[in-house]
Amino acid sequence: MLLLDVVQTAANVNFIITTITSSLLIYLLIFRSKKRLGSYKYLIIFYALIELMVAFVVMISKIAAHSIPDCFILFVQIGADQKKLGQFYIMQCVLLYAFMIGILAVHFLYRYFAVCHRSKLYYFEGVSLMHWVSFMFSLAVLITSLKYFFMGEFYEKTQLLRNEISINYNLKMEQIAYNGPLYYLDKFQYSSYATMLIISFFILISGSIMVYCGYKCHKELQTPGYKFSSDTLNIQKEMYTALIAQAAVPTILMYFPLESLFFLPMFGIKTGFYSNYAIGLATIFTSLDQIVMILVIKDFRIFFCCFCNVQCDQII
C-alpha cells in the first residue's frame, strides 16, 4: 500500500500547489494581462478552474487503478453503503478529464483564428465562446455516461477482480467502487470495445485539431513580413508557446499514460498494481500546468520572479 500512500500524498500536495498557482494565474490574467488577449483570457481562466477542480476531486476521492489481462479499472475505497458516492467520484474524474481535452482543443482553435483568421475571431467572442464550452461539456457528459453505463460494475467482473484486489490492496470488493473496461470474459465484451472506440474517436479528433491548428499557427508566425506589429507578434508567439507547453504537460503526464492503461489489457497485457504510477503522474500535472503558463508569458514571469525577490533584469 506504500505506493498508494505516496500517490495520495502527492495528490494532497498537488492540490495545495494548484490552488496557489491557479489563484496567481487568475490574478495575473485579470489585473496584469494586456487587453489584447481578449476573450482568450477568460478561456485560460476557465481552464485553470477546471484543473483546480480536478486536483480537488483527485485528492478527496483517493482514486487508484489496477489492471489484469482483459480488464482495467479505476477504483476508490468506500465505506458501508457508499457505492453511489464512490461511483460519483470516479465519474467526476472522467468528466473533468474529458472536458479538459475538449477545452484544450478550443484553446488551439482560438489561437488558430487569432493568428490566421482574425476577421473571424467573433466565433469566440462573448456568447459564442460559451457555445464552444457548452458543446465540449456536452461531449464530456456523453463520454462519462457511456463509461458509466457500459463499463460499470457487474457480478462476473467483480468475481474476476476479487482475488487481485485482495492480494494487492488487502481490500474486499465490497470495500471499493470501480469502473473500467472488460474486453473479454468467455466471449468478447463488445460494449467495452464500442465505448473505447467512441472515446478514442473523441481523443483523436481533439488531438488532430491541436496538431493542425498548432502547425498552422507555427507556420504563420514564422512567415516573414507577418501582418501585425512587432509587439503584437511577440504576444502571439508568447501565447502560442504557452499553449504548446500547456498541452505538452498533460499529454506527457496524463493522457498518454492513462490511455495506455485503458488499451493494454485489450492485448492481454497486465500492469497490475503498477498502474498507480500513471495515476501518480496524472495527479501532479495540474500544478505544473499553471507554473508553465506563468513562466512562459513575459509579463507574468517578470511579476512572479520580482514577487519572489529575484532580480527582474535577470529574467527579462
The set of residues, in sequence order, having a beta carbon less than 8 Å from that of 173 and lying 6+ positions away, is: 158, 161, 162, 165
User: How confident is the model at residue 109, as a pLDDT?
Assistant: 96
Q: Which of 92-101, 147-156, 248-257 has the lowest mean pLDDT?
A: 248-257
Average pLDDT, the chain: 90
Most confident stretch, 45-49, 79-83, 122-126: 45-49
CA distance linking residue 32 with residue 45, whole number of Å: 13
pLDDT tens-digit map of 133-192: 999 999 999 999 999 999 999 999 999 999 999 999 999 999 999 999 999 998 999 999
The set of residues, in sequence order, having a beta carbon less than 8 Å from that of 240 and lying 6+ positions away, is: 111, 115, 214, 217, 218, 221
CA count, 13 A, side-chain hemisphere, 27: 9
Output the nine-digit C-alpha cell for 22: 491557479
Is the domain spanning 2-314 CATH 1.20.1070.10? The answer is yes
pLDDT at residue 245 above 60?
yes
Q: What is the CA radius of gyration of the chain?
A: 21
CA distance linking residue 73 with residue 178, whole number of Å: 6
User: How confident is the model at residue 306, as a pLDDT?
Assistant: 78
pLDDT tens-digit map of 4-16: 888 899 999 999 9
CA distance linking residue 197 with residue 248, whole number of Å: 24
